[in-house]
Amino acid sequence: MSAPFAKILVANRGEIAIRIIRSAKELGCATVAVYSDPDRNARHVALADEAYHLGPATPAQSYLNLERILDVAKRSGAEAVHPGYGFFAESAPFARALIAAGLTWIGPHPDAIDAMGDKVRSRQAMVAAGVPVVPGGTEMLADAAAAREAAGKYGLPLALKASGGGGGKGLKVAHTLDEIESAFANAQREAAAYFGNPAIYAERYLENPKHVELQILADKHGGVLHVGERDCSLQRRHQKLWEEAPAAISDHVRDGLRKAGIAAAKAIAYDSVGTIECLVAGGEFFFLEMNTRIQVEHTVSEMISGIDLVREQILVAAGRPLTFDQTAVDAGFRGHAIEVRVNAEDPAQNFRPAPGTLTRYEEPGGFGVRVDSAAFPGFTITPDYDSMIAKLIVWGRDRDESLQRLGRAIDEYRIAGVPTTLPLLRALVDFAPVIDASYGTQTLEPFAASLGAAAGAGRTEDETPAPAGSDDAIRVEVNDKLFRVRFVDLPGHVRGASAPAKTAPKPAAARKSDRPQGNDILTPMHGVVVELPLAEGAAVASGDVVAVIEAMKMMNEIRAHKAGTVAKIHVAKGATVEARAPLITLT
């Protein structure tokens, strides 16, 4: 088969850029990488055939710089551009600009992005196509008062969602009427910051449903099929942490969801990879949104189907028809796959983003284990981008085998330098609602909170790289048998010259407390101050929001730990602050 394109520019970074470059090379395409200042030594840059500098770390000056990307495409001679996910992946204006420049957009046609990119419009389109939607409005909310009216109409809890958003950004939930104003303001703030569109709509918030999505694959010749469904219900901050395929849903729901997903794709003449996201409650399912791009969790669909979705996406963009039909896809499904996201976050601190440098990084391996990552020892997770370090994916002949393999793989994973989600993910493997697949969207956060300090123990900021094989232990031979003994309080003079004088990792509870004390209100993470609503002399009640910090694509409300009066404001809106820096001093 001839190469679909001579050269492809990958307008993204990290593991998804690596993922695309690999599939492109297998198709015989030369590849072009782009990078920002902190990504100069990144793995995707080294892997590509060519690489071009975009600009500073700030996405608007680099990965979201349309003019620079168009210039690189022209200079490199690229024929096509793949956006990956995030950044420009669901930007119809970006797609149209590329097409106008004579380039091929590796994604759906821009009209489909427009139709599904605006959540209000997509709900209207799904209603017209006969696809069930979550009860709610199909119009934008003008203000918090309109949100209150929506609560009276659709009931509480109420989800306030960014019309132009996705991925959990611009989504806030009000459980009481008192929370409406704050939820609306925060949703609008995030929507404006991430999508340039502050429009918000409301829908009923379903309590602990399953979040199930259908993988769609369509060509430019009218061929549309699905590649099975995934359960993505284990989420924090409405963002996924664990995904698996197939989903544990009834055959009735599965059949209905698949038919509705195909109908939805055909209704907008879809022609690429995409995902129909739904909520499943009991024996019903409701359309949530459509993601018009490759998704982070596409890997589990690949593992159970044997189909390289990125490869197919590139071929479809080149005008090639699908070379298989639904019957062939259905016959090819086998086994069970799970993906977990290894993020630089501290679950013990409400999943606080934790940028930093990896002082140790060792991936697991073995049969049925796949790791998609751009990380390496010395790799720095910056606060400018997402907190994900890696995606760990396992496959098994059935779900039980897949869970066992996942537990083993997590036990092998070694990351130091930043706290990660690994301890929490390992605990989930043994959690009853996960074992029996009864979990929903509200399962993960209470479970993480119940673990407390243990959720963040074992992979801490204080941990330093260990010599190979030491694993915080001393080695002892008894009758020619080697034993590894973990030490906790072993005196320094007993360690001897061969053992490292290394402090055992402290559990999260024993680490330096992030709990505010005294009169200073501290920022718990490195980030940018996006809101600072108070002035000196203002009265503050305990629990009031005193600032909003953007860190690693998350908006974090900073609340007062005590009542008082603002005596001094130490930062300005737009300023970058370090973790534990004082924001405000109270009297």
Please state the rounded mean pLDDT for residues 491-498. Answer: 45
Strand order from edge to edge, sheet including 80-82? 50-55, 30-36, 7-10, 80-82, 104-105
Asked whether residue 339 falls in the same domain as residue 456, the answer is yes
Residue at 510 is within a domain: no
Tell me the C-alpha to C-alpha distance, in Å, between residue 147 and each of 120, 143, 153, 167, 192.
15, 7, 10, 22, 17
- Tell me: pLDDT of 13 over 50: yes
Task: Give the model confidence (pLDDT) of 532-542 as tens digits.
Answer: 888 999 999 99
pLDDT bracket for residue 269 (50, 70, 90): very high
Residue at 121 is within a domain: no
Asked whether residue 424 falls in the same domain as residue 482, the answer is no
Strand 200-204 and strand 352-353: the pairing is unpaired
Look up the CATH number of the domain holding residue 454. Answer: 3.30.470.20
pLDDT bracket for residue 168 (50, 70, 90): low
Residue at 511 is within a domain: no
Residue at 122 is within a domain: no
Please tell me the predicted confidence (pLDDT) of residue 552: 62
Residue at 124 is within a domain: no
- Tell me: pLDDT of 509 over 90: no
Asked whether residue 437 falls in the same domain as residue 448, the answer is yes
Please tell me the predicted confidence (pLDDT) of residue 576: 80
Asked whether residue 371 falls in the same domain as residue 428, the answer is yes
Please tell me the predicted confidence (pLDDT) of residue 456: 60
> Which residues in 460-482 are b (16+ Cβ under 10 Å) and which e?
bbebebbeeeeebebeeeeeeee
What's this model's pTM, rounded to 2 decimal places?
0.81
Of residues 122 and 308, more confidence is placed in: 308
Asked whether residue 339 falls in the same domain as residue 328, the answer is no
CA atoms of 293 and 167, how far apart (whole Å):
12
Please tell me the predicted confidence (pLDDT) of residue 119: 74
Asked whether residue 365 falls in the same domain as residue 451, the answer is yes
Last residue of a domain, one of 334, 365, 394: 334
Asked whether residue 533 falls in the same domain as residue 498, the answer is no
Look up the CATH number of the domain holding residue 60. Answer: 3.40.50.20
Look up the CATH number of the domain holding residue 166. Answer: 3.30.1490.20
CA atoms of 525 and 352, how far apart (whole Å):
7
Asked whether residue 324 falls in the same domain as residue 239, the answer is yes
Total structural domains in the chain?
A: 6
Please state the rounded mean pLDDT for residues 247-269. Answer: 95
pLDDT bracket for residue 514 (50, 70, 90): very low
Rg of the Cα atoms in the chain: 24
Asked whether residue 245 falls in the same domain as residue 325, the answer is yes
Residue at 125 is within a domain: no
Give Cβ neighbours of residue 458 (< 8 Å, ≥ 6 apart): 422, 423, 505, 507
Please tell me the predicted confidence (pLDDT) of residue 458: 45
* Local structure of 132: helix, strand or coil: coil
Tell me the C-alpha to C-alpha distance, in Å, between residue 503 and each of 345, 456, 462.
22, 17, 9
Asked whether residue 257 falls in the same domain as residue 271, the answer is yes
Residue at 530 is within a domain: yes
Please tell me the predicted confidence (pLDDT) of residue 135: 83
Q: How many residues does the chain have?
A: 587
CB atoms within 10 A of CB 486: 10
Helix (H) or strand (E) holding 49: none
Which pair of structure tokens corresponds to residue 361?
């990084």
Last residue of a domain, one of 318, 334, 350: 334
Q: Which of 121-125, 198-202, 205-209, 581-585 has the lowest mean pLDDT?
A: 121-125
Asked whether residue 97 falls in the same domain as residue 152, the answer is no
- The conformational region for residue 348 under phi > 0 = left, psi -120 to 50 = alpha, else beta, is alpha
Backbone φ, ψ for residue 422 (5° rounding): -55, -50
CB-CB contact of 427 with 455 (8 Å):
yes
Domain that holds residue 77: 7-106
Please state the rounded mean pLDDT for residues 135-143. Answer: 84
Residue at 120 is within a domain: no
Asked whether residue 188 falls in the same domain as residue 220, the answer is no
Which pair of structure tokens corresponds to residue 571?
């930062």
Please state the rounded mean pLDDT for residues 429-449. Answer: 96
CA atoms of 378 and 292, how far apart (whole Å):
34
Which pair of structure tokens corresponds to residue 240?
């996924």
Please tell me the predicted confidence (pLDDT) of residue 556: 78
CA atoms of 400 and 411, how far apart (whole Å):
17
Please tell me the predicted confidence (pLDDT) of residue 459: 45
